[in-house]
Amino acid sequence: MSHIRVGRREFLKRTGAAGLALASMDALPRLVGSSGTTAALAGERTTLSLIYAPRGDPDRTALQEMLREFERRNPGTNVEVELTTVGRLPEVIQTRLVSRNLPDVAYLVGNRVPAYNKLGILADVSSSLPPDIGDEFVAYRWAEVQFGSRIVGVPIGHGVRALAYNVDYFQKAGIEAPRSPDQAWTWDQFVDVAQRLMRSTDAKFGLMFEDNSFDHWAGIHYQAGGTLLNRDMTAPAINSPEGLEALEWAIDLHRRKIAPPGVVEGTQNPYPLFTSGAVGMWMIGAWAISALESQMTRHRYNFTYMPRKKRAAVVTTGGVWTVFRTRQLEQASKLLVFLASEESITKLAGARAQNSARKRARGLRWPAKSELVEFFGRQADAAFQPQLQKETILPFYGATRDALTAELGLAISGQKSAKQALQDMERLIASELK
């Protein structure tokens, strides 16, 4: 048997080179420009990359149909789609940024756009769009994409929050839901209704907060008369008597077991609680309709107006098409113009069960409960608060929202007093405003 000498240095050199070559393969697409590899190498076809976060099958199908139409109208261009979830969007975009491999076009949640704009990764598409296009959109949605003369995207829809309720329970308890915004319940009436549901139906809990979302509580805070920032938006104003009232109200509902534990803290999935009938009312947006349609089989549901305190208020959120600063800006802008058309936006917003961000959306249809389109429009109009909407699209909000949500959870789970949580929220906002 012959003896084989293994030269350690030589071995490490060779395998090291192979390893580095393997690792650098990841960088190859970046050298030839994001996903346009095919175009750059072959000089014939352009491949655009697009990231989308579908809510379900209807909007996934709608997007596929739209992109097929775009490819048909633009021979030589094809669009590669990467699907993810709304929750994972920040992770996907951040990973792409770190690896310098940004997509050409992406769907983003509107109130994150200012933060991405601040990072300088979004392209200014104002020269590709008609000069007065902003007038065709709902003003507060458009505000998410326009920064001075820069336009970094196009809003698609706006998801409006309202109050979902169990129709069977309401009938059993003899409760009639408000039929117009001026009939919306006050907080006290809302809690009374919740307690009546717990007494006269199988509901274990009368009402439920949205989920571990600060957006939802920001609306409640505003209903109580509070604001996140002062009037000139230079300093936090959350630590106020109104802020305390809103937070203590939420804590009290949980302490008295009128609201189920774990939902605001993110340790319990709210969907099965509502669909099973364990909860009678749920403050949630129209985007839940697709899931409710498939999961709520034992009870009927409907929506009514969100309760109010000193004033009505809800934070509306929506998706935005954005173009990133890649080498294929021209083609990507073309795609954006296509996606911004009334036809495209109506189709996609409808498939996501949202109202359209365009003022005109002829033929808007949802996968289910299309009869509620007008109701959600009225809810949005009745509860729209310019300052609240402006606050939630400032960069500080996107940057602190998770930490604020954690503070909310700390207060509701009793780990912090309401006062302490508000002080910490104030500190977080102040630190970000600096």
Partner 1 sequence: MVRSLRLKETGPYLFVAPNVALVLAFSTFPLLYGIYLSVHSLTLDATTFVGLQNYPRLVRDPILRVSLTNTLYYVLGSVPLALALALTLAIGLNRRIPMRDALRSMYLLPHLISGVTTGLLWQWMYSPSLGILNGLLSLAGLPPSQWLQNPRLTMLCIILVGVWTQAGYYMVLYLAGLQSIPPEYYDAAAADGAGNWQSFRLITLPLIRPITYLVLIIATLTAFRVFDIIYVMTGGGPGRASLVLVVYMYQQAFNAMNSSYGATIGILLFSIVFLLTLAQLRASRA
Which residues in this chain contact partner 1 in the complex, by CB under 8 A? Answer: 2, 4-6, 11-12, 14-16, 18-23, 90-91, 94-95, 97-98, 100, 102, 115, 119-121, 204-205, 212, 260-262, 265-269, 272-273, 276, 278, 325, 399, 402-403, 406-407, 409-410, 412-416
Residue 264's alpha-carbon distances to 188, 371, 382, in angstroms, are: 21, 30, 25
Task: Please give the Cα distance from 387 to 227 (Å, whole number).
Answer: 8
Least distance in angstroms from the C-beta of 328 to partner 1: 15
CB of 252 to partner 1, least distance (A): 16
Question: How far out from the chain centre does Cα 8 lie?
Answer: 54
Sorted by sequence, the CB contacts under 8 Å of residue 313 that are 6+ apart come out as 219, 220, 222, 223, 383, 385, 388
User: Minimum distance from CB of 126 to partner 1 (Å)?
Assistant: 19
Which of left, alpha, beta for 182 (phi over 0: left; psi -120 to 50: alpha)? alpha
Q: Is the dihedral of CA 325, 330, 331, 333 positive or negative?
A: positive
Shortest Å, Cβ 300 to partner 1: 20
Q: What angle do CA 126, 110, 407 make, to 5 degrees?
A: 145
Q: How far is the CB of 260 from partner 1 (least distance, A)?
A: 6
Between 182 and 402, name the residue whose CB sits nearer to partner 1.
402
Nearest distance, CB of residue 57 and partner 1, angstroms: 21
CB of 359 to partner 1, least distance (A): 32
CA dist 215 and 404 (Å) reads 10
Q: With the CA atoms of 212, 217, 218 and 223 taken in that order, what torsion angle do they form, in degrees rounded to the nearest 10?
A: 170
Residue 226: which of 400, 434, 425 has the closest Cα? 425
Give me the residue label for tokens 């009225």. Answer: 378
Residue 146's CB is within 10 A of a number of other CB atoms, namely 17
Burial class (CB in 10 A: 0-12, 13-18, 19+), 156: buried
Tokens for 410, please give them: 């700390």
Strand positions, DSSP E, 91-179: 105-109, 146-147, 150-151, 153-155, 157-158, 161-166
For the chain, the C-alpha Rg in angstroms (whole number) is 25
DSSP run (H or E) holding 331: helix 329-339
